[in-house]
Copies of this chain bind each other. A is one copy, B any other.
Amino acid sequence: MTTTRERIVHASFDVFDNLDFHKATIREIAKRSGIAPASIYKHFASKDDLVMAITNEKTKQMITELNEHFIGVRGTMNKLRKMTWYYLYFYENNPQVSWVVNISTSVKSWRESSDGWKNVRQTGQTFMGILREGQKLGDVRQDINIFVMSNIYFGGLARLVQIWLVHNQSYSLTALADDFAETIFAAVRTPTE
């Protein structure tokens, strides 16, 4: 059984999926969901609220699933590979989310959404956790700038997704996961001598 709310959320992703975010209107969502515009406002306070709700929902799902994938994985490199793969896998299967996050939401109001920010921080924490653990294990250099490293990682991933979207998703995104993870690992690993 699909609730009305679910139908709205589903249609929203559908709408944001077409890359041209000027077309991402409430009326379009209403049309595709078969729910009247006025009814959408019974479930979401405003358009911004809707956008935030659906991105948060997806991000939460992402975090949950990522944790599941982590179960039993050991070793810095393995975790890095797993996380990278999952990230790309997620966007390969939810290309809209990236656009919603990057484009549609006004950054200002997004920051004001505690939930949204919290989720992003949490994903960031996971990455930093891997690095810190690696430092303890001796895999990762002690002198890395974690802030910079983290931005390189997520910025690089985001760029990869963006380019892939601009190229109309014409190639496999997950196929790049290994190279990506290895490059990042090369940047952080303790030099062998």
Contact = CB atoms under 8 A, between A and B. Distances in A.
Interface of A: 19-22, 102-103, 106-108, 111, 144-145, 147-149, 151-160, 162-163, 165-166, 176, 179-180, 183-184, 186-188, 191-193
In terms of DSSP, what is the predominant structure of the interface of chain A? helix
B179 A148 contact: yes
Contacts of A159: 151-152, 154-156, 158
A160 B155 contact: yes
A184 to B, nearest CB: 7
B155 A106 contact: no
Contacts of A103: 102-103, 107
Given A159-B158, A186-B186, A186-B188, A180 B106 contact: no
